[in-house]
Structure 1
């Protein structure tokens, strides 16, 4: 009984502490006149600033997919290329995210650049890259990363980490003198954006949000209330 009461008190104290966590956003606002008319240009500008600010993992993005039951899932992947043809990331083609995309290629990605008090949210559809695109990127990776891609059947259940490490060491020995082949179950996706939202923190929680949506052959820009 005492243990249950103690846990309840600890939970109440933690909840009070969480509700008290807040800060002001003071790094400046975002105005319509400052925006690039092209969302890809605006994204490139912000990404460049995030890299120059030396924030941790500026290319890390959360990608959300939905399973066949409508259950959303999120995980963090790394952006490996971006341009007006889309945003590229790589993964195991047998992973949970890949299975979701096979049945529903609608996805959303989120870049949380907290240090700059910025966020970017993108919605769109994911399409598989060509074998040549996969080969070109795979062969540019460090050899240990290539081997790890083969050793790990992403999202499959394993009983212990030691199994994964043993497989990695076995493959490392096998390919010590030769090239690592591109595994058939590994590849990339290109996300074709359909909307962009740029968020900049503002004082008194009056944040600045701008939404780009595609209309025919141009992008419409609208300000959203925070």
Structure 2
């Protein structure tokens, strides 16, 4: 390595978070932050790190895209047979991390994960571009493959199969809902004295408090 990364520094500046002015529930503030992130971060504003654990308790993380959120939770889609699908089938808990550098903001979310209904998954699948629909059939996600050519040949075969017919959602592909039990808002501040406000859900009620940076 030609550069000492320990010497990399940058200042953080942002509006302060005051726990006395925070909403009683976290999702309205998350919606506000997400809206600003989509404006400032462009097409990456809904990117999030999804962290899961396997049967041995080993953690695994990858970046996926948030595809919706409401009072019930946050939604993403994947192959149910993928590594994350297998992990969530055994341990239906996950952590989500959003990092928006242009805003000096981070949001951490933890909660229970469940599959959404077939009807909901079908509706989202139908909204996808044709190539994305095809990709759900082509990609045997997380399976070891011999080379790139194997994938390209498989894609060509499926293109021929679906060249004159509608592409329906594979039964091994669909949506997940993360129902939050914890949401933490982090706002960068000078001198590393960052603002951290955490919400925790206890007995179906949200409570929030400040954490040391």
Normalising by structure 2, report the TM-score. 0.96
In structure 2, the residue matched to 1:183 is: 170
CA–CA separation in structure 2 for the residues paired with 1:92 and 1:53: 30
The reply on whether 1:79 has 2:66 as its aligned counterpart is yes
In structure 1, the residue matched to 2:107 is: 120
Within a 5 Å distance, the mapping from 1:23-172 to structure 2 comes to: 23-172=10-159
Q: Which secondary structure state, in structure 1, belongs to the residue aligned with residue 180 of structure 2? A: strand
CA–CA separation in structure 1 for the residues paired with 2:56 and 2:130: 38
Deviates more, 1:160-169 or 1:23-32: 23-32
Aligned length: 213
In structure 1, the residue matched to 2:200 is: 213
Question: Once superposed, what is the RMSD of the aligned Cα atoms?
Answer: 1.2
Task: Say which of 184, 189, 199 aligns to 1:197.
Answer: 184
- Output one character per residue of 1:116-156: Cα deviation in whole Å (capped at 9) or x when no partner: 10000000011011111111111110010000110001000
**2:49–2:98 contact (8 Å) kept in structure 1:** yes
CA–CA separation in structure 2 for the residues paired with 1:203 and 1:69: 40
CA–CA separation in structure 2 for the residues paired with 1:205 and 1:211: 18
CA–CA separation in structure 1 for the residues paired with 2:68 and 2:76: 7
How much does 1:56 deviate? Answer: 4.5
Q: Rg larger in 1 or in 2?
A: 1
The reply on whether 1:174 has 2:178 as its aligned counterpart is no
How much does 1:33 deviate? Answer: 3.8
